[in-house]
Structure 1
Amino acid sequence: MGQSTKDLGALIRGARNALRLTQEQLGLAVGYSASAISRIEGNKMRLDADVVPLMSKALGIPPGRLSGAAVPEGPAIATVATGWMPDEEDAVRRRELLTGALAAGATAIVGTGTAAALPAVDLEDVLFRLPSAEPVPLANLTSQTGLARQAFTAARYNDLGRAMPGLLATAEATKNAASGRLRQQASAVLARAYVLAAELASKQHSDAAWVAADRALSAARASGMSVPVGEASRVLAITMRRSGRWSSAVHLLTGQAAELDTTQARTAAVRSTLLLTAAYSAATGQDRTTALALLDEADEDVERRPEAPSGLFTVEATRAQVDVYRIGVLNSLGTPDEGVKIAADLNIDLMPTAERRARAWTDTARMWHALGDGQQTFDALRRVEQEAPQEVRRPALRALTSDLLYGPGRVQGLREFAVRTGALA
């Protein structure tokens, strides 16, 4: 019996985690983006035929199991050509058996809705096929966008996903019906709506983030307002970074930061968030000098302006936010031990939104995981779930949970957590 489409994603994810490869690393080996690997592991995308041999070589899985060709039932046995030694073959077989057994158990729970992932709304389809809508008064549109932002910052991604088609359609209609100054203001609101769409798509690891971010920046530039341009530049840079173009992301962010008028509190705060995102982008490219320099620059900005104005779209320019980014940067640079003291002094409970608190606990979990402390990793993951249940079901968090499950130690309650959050679905 061939490997079914339903099981293929679990097979690839299990083998990747066993080899301690990130989705980005596997993608580089086979010519896919990290988001494409995520979709394959989620059984939302098929492997191209010419990629099967590359994936087989990268993971040590016989090509027949990846292409769906008929193979005997039971675990695959790696051949000498894959380069696996006998004890490693046994480990692969055990992992595949474990993956199959746990995935079957997870399927039953997923069917109950307790492990629902991020919204089922197909953002790519939404972006290219907006529903029809009538223009509304600008005040009403601004209010609708504000409510959508609240859903995002509260990590209610399902609610945001359901609202997104109507919001984008209404914002486009309102902008198109306006003229003069009102059109510029409507363009700014439209830009913020597309920023939210890009943020949501990034949470889903969807390539729709590219489209949404590009439209956000176009609308922001049409508004002639620097704050929306800064917000849109940030989400576009994130999509660039996730596709491996970290250097281009840093260039975009630092260039935009240099154009902002820092005498205005709001634009100065936007500048700080751009520098933070640029620092993390540089860290993903292992440019330690640039990453730390940008972090220090953002730190100095916040020190000069300790009372950051509220209203930034997803990231507040605060001391706590700088510390969270510093932990993430150090994780990416491969020196997570340098973040331990920062994490110890950070009071995540005081951060203003559930989404930000969840992200802070996520970076803390990654830090402990890199340091090999399974229990503290799991404790941080449970804090993510407490703050934002939908956040812990993101593809990246499910991958981290799965990786922890296949680690050398045994953590009490981890298996149940993995099933509950869809990490084994």
Structure 2
Amino acid sequence: MRSLIDAGNVGEVIRLARERRGWRQADLGRAACYSAATISRLEQGKTGLHVAKIRAVAEAIEMPPALLAAALLGVSPRPKVTVDTTVAPVVQEDPMRRRSLLAAGLAAVPVAALTRLDDALALTPDAAGPITREQLATRLRRFRTLFDSGALRELVTGLPALLADAHQAAGDAPDEPDTWVLVAGVYDLAADALNKVGAREQSRITADRAVLYAERSEDPVAQAAAARSLGIVLRHEGRQVVAQHVTLRAVEQLERTGLTTPAQAAAYAQTLCTTGYNAALANRRADALEMMAEARKAATRLPARMPAAPTPDAPFRITPAQIELYRVGVYWGLGDAGAAIAAGERLRPEQFDTVERRARLHTDMARALVQRGWAEQAIARLLEAHQQAPSEVRDRTSIRNVAVQLVQQHRRVPGARELAAVL
């Protein structure tokens, strides 16, 4: 098995695991919902590296995720280091093994849930029954609450059914703009959640569809929300300049409305923040700081009290405190850790109305502290984030990577053992 992994021979690893279980190719095919011929081609390496298919087959055969990840990366799991036995086991694992597990996308959401979502994106499942626009709006609000509370696994698991309901509602009222606003909102939420858990391919598909349906609605707020989702996905693809242009176009479109409603004003401020962050990661300092300065001005147009929960026609609830939190991320993206820390020092968790945002305060500050080289303070922030919303540390791929590197490189720093234990 070690030699097959080192050779990156995923097909033979699956064959060996199947035979060890005493299954025929037909048995594995039935368990994974594929034909025996497909299993044969997979084992012979004739299907290419189709990760979703490999994950489904590996789950059916109950292959340990670390073993599959190692095979995909061509790296054998190494023996655990035993020099420091006071550190939690996750710290003692080989760093490449940990990174390969994360790279394979197996750390956050069950493989079966992502496989079902892949199927739903290829062929939208049938809804459980007729659904009105009002019922879909209620379901979308409930799923948004899951996002705000950090329940990412539950959210992703339920996405296929939510997508089915959205398309059912659209089929019943295909020419009503309000319906397309709802459908776009469903895909916005899907893109945001999938992006957080590192499902990059699926997040790009859902973001593209959000843009398509938002354009069909002709609603500038819905179009801004979709542009923001797509910009985030593009940013994570390493296309920061394109991401900046996508969201900047949405800013300009919102300006043309005159910002006459609270929903438009909130969308404008939110999109400015996203554009500024995209510009920072594209190393366009002047653009980034200009966008954030404009966002601060836009905050004066926001209503004194934001809605208790987002609605399809008013998806943004940005506040002055959230704009300041974006400034932390912008300065971090520009490599200015000192300015990022200074921008966040006056912010407090109670200024944010969702656990996702409260945890985000701590994770953004943790990244800035790591950039500054202050490991102990960064670990403390990540532990605070985990206390607020465990999934923001455990399931959000980029932050989990930061946490893993911290506990691997600073094992004896106070808090490292506790952080390792929650990963």
TM-score range, shorter chain: 0.7 to 0.9
- How far apart, in 1, do the equivalents of 2:90 and 2:306 lie? 50
Find out whether 1:289 has 2:286 as its counterpart: yes
Q: Check whether the contact 1:254–1:275 (CA below 8 A) recurs between aligned residues.
A: yes
Find out whether 1:214 has 2:208 as its counterpart: yes
- How far apart, in 1, do the equivalents of 2:421 and 2:4 lie? 20
Aligned pairs (5 A) from 1:24-423: 66=74, 102-103=92-93, 117-118=108-109, 120=111, 121-122=113-114, 123-133=117-127, 134-181=129-176, 184-206=177-199, 207-260=201-254, 261=257, 262-305=259-302, 307=304, 309-310=306-307, 311=310, 316-393=317-394, 394-408=396-410, 410-421=412-423
Deviation at 1:315, TM superposition (A): 5.4
- How far apart, in 2, do the equivalents of 1:222 and 1:214 lie? 13
- Flag as ranges the 4+ runs of structure 1 deviating above 4 A: 3-6, 41-48, 92-95, 98-101, 312-315
- How far apart, in 1, do the equivalents of 2:144 and 2:317 lie? 13
| Residues 318-344 of structure 1: CA deviation (Å, up to 9, x unaligned) | 111111111111111111111222222
- How far apart, in 1, do the equivalents of 2:69 and 2:165 lie? 31
- How far apart, in 2, do the equivalents of 1:74 and 1:379 lie? 29
Unmatched runs of 5 consecutive residues or more in structure 2: 9-50, 56-64, 99-105
- How far apart, in 2, do the equivalents of 1:281 and 1:42 lie? 33
| Residues 28-68 of structure 1: CA deviation (Å, up to 9, x unaligned) | xxxxxxx99xx9x97776888xxx8xxxxxxxxxxxxx466
The TM-score normalised by the length of structure 1 is 0.72
Give the corresponding residue for 1:29: none
The TM-score normalised by the length of structure 2 is 0.73
Alpha-carbon spacing, 1:223–1:354, altered in 2? closer, same or farther (3 Å) = same
| Residues 214-268 of structure 1: CA deviation (Å, up to 9, x unaligned) | 1111111112212111111100011111111111111111111111121222112
- SS class of match (2:414): coil
Q: Check whether the contact 2:241–2:279 (CA below 8 A) recurs between aligned residues.
A: yes
| Residues 188-217 of structure 1: CA deviation (Å, up to 9, x unaligned) | 111111111101110111121100001111
- How far apart, in 2, do the equivalents of 1:150 and 1:221 lie? 25
- How far apart, in 2, do the equivalents of 1:275 and 1:100 lie? 39
- How far apart, in 1, do the equivalents of 2:79 and 2:132 lie? 62
Q: Check whether the contact 1:374–1:409 (CA below 8 A) recurs between aligned residues.
A: no
- How far apart, in 2, do the equivalents of 1:315 and 1:415 lie? 38
- SS class of match (2:125): coil
What fraction of aligned residue pairs are identical, expressed as a percent?
29
- How far apart, in 2, do the equivalents of 1:118 and 1:300 lie? 39
- How far apart, in 1, do the equivalents of 2:235 and 2:265 lie? 23
Give the corresponding residue for 2:42: none
Q: Check whether the contact 1:247–1:281 (CA below 8 A) recurs between aligned residues.
A: yes
- How far apart, in 1, do the equivalents of 2:162 and 2:225 lie? 18
- How far apart, in 1, do the equivalents of 2:290 and 2:135 lie? 42
- How far apart, in 1, do the equivalents of 2:401 and 2:345 lie? 25
| Residues 344-380 of structure 1: CA deviation (Å, up to 9, x unaligned) | 2112222011111111111011111111111211111
Deviation at 1:162, TM superposition (A): 2.4
- How far apart, in 2, do the equivalents of 1:210 and 1:44 lie? 24
- How far apart, in 2, do the equivalents of 1:43 and 1:275 lie? 43
Bigger relative contact order, structure 1 or 2 (CA pairs below 8 A, ≥6 apart): 1
- How far apart, in 2, do the equivalents of 1:174 and 1:304 lie? 34
- How far apart, in 2, do the equivalents of 1:358 and 1:43 lie? 32
Unmatched runs of 5 consecutive residues or more in structure 1: 9-34, 53-65, 76-91, 108-114
- How far apart, in 2, do the equivalents of 1:419 and 1:376 lie? 18
- How far apart, in 1, do the equivalents of 2:5 and 2:315 lie? 36
Q: Check whether the contact 1:241–1:281 (CA below 8 A) recurs between aligned residues.
A: yes
Q: Which amino acid aligns with 1:174?
A: A
